[in-house]
Amino acid sequence: MHGRVKVRTTEEERERKRKEQALKVRAYRAAMGRIQAKRAAGELDDEMLSLTVQILQRNPDVTTLWNIRRECVLEKLSKLSKEAEPQQPEPAGDQEQPEEKNEKEAAPQPEDRAQSVFRCELDLTEQCLMVNPKSYNAWHHRCWTLEQNPLADWQRELHLCNKYLKFDERNFHTWDYRRYVTEKAGVPAAQELDFCTEKIKVNFSNYSSWHHRSLLLPELYPNEQRDRPMSEEKLKQELEMVLTAAFTDPNDSSAWFYQRWLLGSGAQLDRAPKVAAFRLQSKGAVLALDKPTPDLGELNIELVAGEQKVTLSPWLPVDSGRTTWKCQLPFDYQKNSTYTLKLTDQELNLLPLPGTEDGAFYFAPPHAAASCSQELLSELKTQLQSCLDLLEYEPDSKWTLLTSALLMRAIDVSANHAKNLEHLGKLEKVDALREGYYKDLAARWTLELELAKWPQAPGFPRKFELADEVSLASLPYGQYLIIADELNMATKLREELGNRVPKTFSELKL
């Protein structure tokens, strides 16, 4: 039960209500009893349909009654299809024909009768949806009915969606139904996008419309490199549109969520893992992946040096998150050979490990931002300026603080890092409920930058050093550090992180 306000009433009123409800209970029980008796007797007839209507109109959540209606519908359809089976043509004279035609007009054809069966179900679901527009059962029954009908009128259903979305533009049932109907009706994606644009123009604060839009755009304007959700040109237009929306009401979150998605990488959840770091020595190897991967079987990890080819296996997990793995296969390391790590979809050249004659490694820092064309860059800069202007007037505006930081990252991650941390620090205060989130985000951004700088640092990759002033609430991307022998950080930070300090190569004792 949702949204029912508790109302205090007098004893008199309560008594009246009690009596009224007692009658309703009696009527419900009588109807249910009759329905169950009829069902047991196999009486799937018109009386059954009207008995279920009485209850469903008040309470569309009684699933079983919808099931019974479906049984009735199937029964009726099966009778009608028997009637419609072609009968032996009667040997009739010419004069008799007009009379027969008249008869046919008087009694509806089985097909028309079938349509009226469907109509009856559709009408009932509409009545029920008026009572409860979020009834899973009523929506499902509508879909089921249409699926039974080869002559279903999908255009009519599309109009119904338009009507219902006017009542409530956030009803996710209606939006789901709309996606189902547009597919059935063959509505082109471009036309849907226009509908969506209209909806957003009427009300910017409409997460459901923005969501619908996010499904259509990647399909209509694909991004070839797949490092952004859609083509750069379209992305630029979308950024313009969404910022206008966001500025109309900066406290409404819908447009800001959409904007963050636009600025993101467009990465697919089911993409294959990439190698983050790898280190090899004669006693074995360690492999870190950029995302958790519980099974390395499909990666087919091989080490190639000239003619020499070794399949590395078996792999044992190093961390519970399954991003880091070790392989204790003894290996005849040749310091003068060039080694390549071959995986199903990647081929990586290893570099000799400095300062030793036993070992090679690979390292690829996490990607912080996608590449950017000049046009897109200038749009991002314009947007950033608008955000910074707004912050002059409203320095505590949460969404503007966050978005300007995201824009600065998209423009130049490292140049804007200090400023971005400042924004996150401010967000911890103005949006204190999510303090923990901003702290972890700051740690992530910091590690991304530190890891990007690491290959230029002295001692790389055997030593990783965090300056004393670096403050972190957590240490994400820990798996990237597995190739180091030594992690240097302030004692205070080490104590704070406790058992979350990542493992090093030397600790693995291969």
Least distance to other proteins, CB of residue 338, Å: 33
**Per CB under 8 A, 361 contacts other proteins:** no
Per CB under 8 A, contacts with other proteins among 63-122 are: 63-64, 66-67, 70
Is 239 in contact with 247 (CB distance < 8 Å)?
A: no
The kind and range of the H/E element at 18 are helix 11-40
Pick the closer one to other proteins by CB: 133 or 266. 266
Is 303 in contact with 314 (CB distance < 8 Å)?
A: no
**Per CB under 8 A, 28 contacts other proteins:** yes
Pick the closer one to other proteins by CB: 25 or 388. 25
**Per CB under 8 A, 43 contacts other proteins:** no
Residue 271 to residue 463: CA distance in whole angstroms: 31
Question: How far is C-alpha 255 from the geometric centre of its chain's CA atoms?
Answer: 16
Is 119 in contact with 148 (CB distance < 8 Å)?
A: no
CA-based torsion, 409, 411, 417, 419: positive or negative = negative
CA nearest 400: which of 419, 427, 437?
A: 427
**Per CB under 8 A, 1 contacts other proteins:** yes
Least distance to other proteins, CB of residue 36, Å: 5
**Per CB under 8 A, 154 contacts other proteins:** no
Per CB under 8 A, contacts with other proteins among 213-252 are: 214-215, 218, 229, 252
Per CB under 8 A, contacts with other proteins among 328-357 are: none
Q: Which of 474, 490, 493, 494 binds other proteins (CB under 8 A)?
A: 474
Among the residue ranges 81-89, 277-285, 286-294, 386-394, the one whose residues contact other proteins (CB under 8 A): 286-294
- Per the structure block, which two tokens stand in for 300? 């087919």
Question: How far is C-alpha 249 from the geometric centre of its chain's CA atoms?
Answer: 25
Q: Which of 94, 105, 270, 307 binds other proteins (CB under 8 A)?
A: 270
In eight-state DSSP terms, residue 481 is G
Rounded CA Rg of the chain: 33
Per CB under 8 A, contacts with other proteins among 157-186 are: 170, 172, 175-176, 179
Q: Which of 45, 46, 47, 61 binds other proteins (CB under 8 A)?
A: 61
Pick the closer one to other proteins by CB: 284 or 317. 317
Among the residue ranges 115-123, 124-132, 201-209, 381-389, the one whose residues contact other proteins (CB under 8 A): 201-209
Least distance to other proteins, CB of residue 102, Å: 42
Among the residue ranges 153-161, 292-300, 349-357, 502-510, the one whose residues contact other proteins (CB under 8 A): 292-300
Per CB under 8 A, contacts with other proteins among 385-444 are: 432-437, 440, 443-444
For the beta sheet containing 275-281, the strands, ordered from the edge strand earlier in sequence to the opposite edge, are 316-317, 324-327, 284-289, 275-281, 360-363, 351-352
CA nearest 452: which of 491, 417, 502, 421?
A: 417
Q: How far is CA 500 from CA 213, 321, 406, 474, in A?
A: 40, 12, 27, 8
Is 366 in contact with 275 (CB distance < 8 Å)?
A: no
